Amino acid sequence: MLGKLIRHEWKETSKMGCLLLFVVVLITLFGWLAFRTPMWKSISNGNASFSWLDIFSVLTLMMYVMMLAGINYGITIYLGVRFYQTMYTDQGYLTHTLPVTKHQLLLSKILVSGLWIFFLMLSLYLSVFILGASMLSLFLPQGYSLASLWRELGLNFGELLELIGEEMDFNVIRWLVTLVVTTILSPFATVTILFGAISMGQLFSKHRVLAAILSYIGIMVAVSVLSSVFRSILMFSRITSAGSYLNNSLDSSIIINLLLAVGLYFVSWHVTSNRLNMQ
C-alpha cells in the first residue's frame, strides 16, 4: 500500500514540481543571456562601458536572484499547504478512510515531498553553477577556454584536496562525504519538521493555521539558537584548527536536525492517530 500512496502523492504533486523545474530552466536561460551583453565583455577587457541594454541585464540578474529565493520558499509553502489540506481539512476525510496506517500516510508524504525539494535544490545548485561558469568564462585569458580550466582542475583535484586538508588540518574526504549525506537527508528532515509544526498547530482549538505558522517559526528560532550555542562552545573548546571546527559544526547541524525531525515525526503521528479533529 505504501507504494500506491507514493505513486498517488507523486502524481498529485508532479504538476507543481515540474512547473517549478521549468521556471528554473527558464530563469537560468535568461541569466545566461544577461551575461552576453556588451557591458560584461567590456569589463572583462578592462574597458568598462554601459548602455541601456545593460540596464536590462542587471535587472534580469536581480530578478534571477529573487526568483531563486521565490522557488525555494514556494515549494516549501506549497508542500506545507498541501499537507494541511489533505490531512487536517475536509479533504482529509477521504485520506483517513484509506485502509493504511498513519505511518504509511506520513511516510508517503515525507518521501515524495522530500524528493521534490531535493530535485529542486539540485536544479538551483546547477543553475547557479551554470551562471557562475558563464561569468567566469568572460574573465579567462585570451585563447584559454572554460573546458581547459575544468580539465586542469580535474587533473589536479586530488592535489587540491590534499593541499586544503593540510592548510586547514582536517580530513577533506570525510567533510565531503558528510556534506553529501547532509545534502541528501536535509530535504526529508526539512519537510518532516514542517509537517510536525503543522501538526502542532492542530493541537489548538482556534486559529490553527496561525498556530502552525508560529510553531514553525518558533522551531526554526530554537534550532538557530541551539546551533549558535553549539558553535560558540566549539570555539572555546580545545579545537585547534578551522578544519576541525567545520567538521564538528557540520556534524552538530546534522544531529540537531535529525533528532528534531524524528521528534516531530512522532508529533505528526500522535496528532493524526489520537488528536485528529478536522475542520
Q: What is the DSSP annotation of 40-66?
A: HHHHHTT-----HHHHHHHHHHHHHHH
Q: What is the pLDDT of residue 58?
A: 78
Q: What is the pLDDT of residue 168?
A: 64
In a domain, 149, yes or no: no
CA pair distance 185, 251, nearest whole angstrom: 13
Instruction: State which amino acid sits at residue 259.
Output: L
Residues 51 and 2 placed together within one structural domain of the fold: yes
Residues 129 and 57 placed together within one structural domain of the fold: yes
Q: Note down pLDDT in tens along the chain; length 279 residues.
A: 788 889 999 999 999 999 999 999 999 998 888 777 666 665 555 555 566 666 777 788 888 889 999 998 999 999 999 999 998 887 777 777 878 888 999 999 999 999 999 999 999 999 999 888 887 777 666 666 667 767 767 667 667 767 766 666 667 777 788 888 889 999 999 999 999 999 999 988 888 899 999 999 999 999 888 877 877 776 666 555 666 666 677 777 888 889 999 999 999 999 988 877 766
How far apart are the two ends of the chain, measured CA to CA in Å? 27
In a domain, 231, yes or no: yes
Residue at which a domain ends, from 81, 113, 144: 144
- What is the Cα 257 distance to its own chain's centre? 13
Tally of domains within the chain: 2
In a domain, 151, yes or no: no
Residue at which a domain ends, from 89, 122, 144: 144
Q: What is the pLDDT of residue 238?
A: 56
Single out the residue of 191, 181, 163, 199 nearest to residue 272, CA to CA.
199
Residues 160 and 139 placed together within one structural domain of the fold: no
* Domain span holding position 237: 156-279
Residue at which a domain ends, from 113, 144, 175: 144
Q: What is the pLDDT of residue 27?
A: 92
